[in-house]
Amino acid sequence: MTLDADDLHDVLDRATDAVAPVGMAARALSNARRRRTRRRGIAAGLASAAAVAGVVVAVQGAGGPTAEPPAAPATTTTAPPTPAEPLVAPDIPLDRIQDRWDPRGAESLPVLDLGVPRVLPVIDGGTGAVGTAVALLDGDGETLLVGADGTQAALDLPDGLGTRRSVRLSPDGRRVAAVGSSGFFWRDLDGGLDGDPDGGGWERVEVPAHAREGSVGWLPGSAVVVLQGYGPGVRVDLATGATRLLPHLAEYVSWAADPEGRLTYQRRADEPSTAGAALVSEDGDGGTAEAFPGPLESIQRYALSDSSLAAARANGAVVGGRPAAHDVDGLIALDRATLATRALLPVEDRAGYYADGGHLVPTSWLDDDTVLFTVLPRDAAKEYLIAWDVESGDLSRVACWPTEYSTSFATDLLARR
């Protein structure tokens, strides 16, 4: 079929009735080129140009007045993912706050037998080799190992550790680690002590100089030690002697390991925040998750079970008049997944002696409902290991020792008798 000029004009008019003028497309494309960094502008300009080009092709190849231009390609955009809201601990329910306890009454608590002599050091116990200890007492004049049967033995330390040393018994009771001015050392207790006055049997591992001023912490399994002080933490693998810096454990931050060896630690905020310092937990696959204490305020010195976290809780509220029920220092037990309060045990305190002063320290979980903690009552001559049932609020006395000793326990061996 042959089209004359009038027919061709008629076809063009019909085909372009719903299309914006080419000049408009050109202007859109020009604007898009001036806004190259904006993806929407580029996509819109290209879509307009493609629509005009499609019309021209349709008109040229239509073969008659019924040809229609193809639809312009759809433009889609993908919104960036919304960041997940950080977990913030809920408020402390009033029904989770237990009766206030005065640690000065620790001596009158009922006794709980966990296989540790009730009074340390043992005055009338036997002496001899201790291959597995349930307690270690380190004092200025002597370091003692205590077995479950009351057998007691002196432990000779490496030379030069100094008085500001840290000496700790492993969770399984079969190893001791020590750090001080002369370095980091560890030894097995298997087969009993050999009585070497020079500390025979000790193995030395080279660690950074700053770690010598730190304290010893054991990971579950009794094969790895963490040295922590003001500088970066240092992880020491006793089997290989390999060391690794842990920058996130610098400046004495609170930390603990769960039964699988995964760490939870405090990360201080760069700026003051009402949510508090972040609580960072390793997930075991190289990642971490953060949560914030919020209304829990200052929680420190952690002990972890599979599902719960115990900590000393320092009240940070500054109030006038009568304080609220939760404006107290004490021990707190939390659900690890939600940071919901399982129980809060308030203590009689003033001037932050117990929580902020380091005289109230969770050490481990005996079972899903029982926390073991140490407490040094104000003006007391003895320190205590106490068991707290977080569900009932019951308290029991496990052991006591003079304040001149720093004491650690083989937590894997403690069990109800």
264 bridge partner residues: 256, 281
**CA dist., res. 2 & res. 4, Å (int):** 7
**CA dist., res. 258 & res. 254, Å (int):** 14
Domain positions in the chain are 5-61, 88-413
**CA dist., res. 306 & res. 365, Å (int):** 10
**CA dist., res. 292 & res. 294, Å (int):** 6
**CA dist., res. 183 & res. 327, Å (int):** 43
Q: How far is CA 34 from the centre of its chain?
A: 50
Mean pLDDT confidence for 408-415: 97
pTM: 0.78
**CA dist., res. 373 & res. 331, Å (int):** 9
pLDDT tens for 363-402 read: 999 999 999 999 999 999 999 999 999 999 999 999 999 9
Mean pLDDT confidence for 66-81: 54
pLDDT tens for 94-144 read: 999 999 999 999 999 999 999 999 999 998 777 788 999 999 999 998 999
Per-residue confidence at 350, pLDDT binned at 50, 70, 90? confident
pLDDT tens for 157-188 read: 999 999 999 999 999 999 999 999 999 999 99
Q: What is the CATH number of domain 88-413?
A: 2.120.10.30
Residues 6+ apart with CB under 8 A from 103: 347, 348, 354, 360, 375, 376, 377, 378, 380, 384
Per-residue confidence at 322, pLDDT binned at 50, 70, 90? low
Task: Check whether 47 has a pLDDT greater than 50.
Answer: no
Tell how strand 308-314 and strand 382-389 pair up.
Answer: unpaired
Task: Check whether 35 has a pLDDT greater than 50.
Answer: no
Mean pLDDT confidence for 140-149: 94
**CA dist., res. 179 & res. 413, Å (int):** 24
Residues 6+ apart with CB under 8 A from 271: none
The answer to whether 271 touches 225, Cβ cutoff 8 Å, is no
261 bridge partner residues: none
**CA dist., res. 340 & res. 87, Å (int):** 11
Mean pLDDT confidence for 138-152: 94
Task: Check whether 13 has a pLDDT greater than 60.
Answer: no
35 bridge partner residues: none
Mean pLDDT confidence for 208-213: 96
Average pLDDT of the chain, as a whole number: 82
**CA dist., res. 302 & res. 14, Å (int):** 79
Mean pLDDT confidence for 299-313: 97
The answer to whether 11 touches 62, Cβ cutoff 8 Å, is yes
Q: What is the pLDDT of residue 83?
A: 53
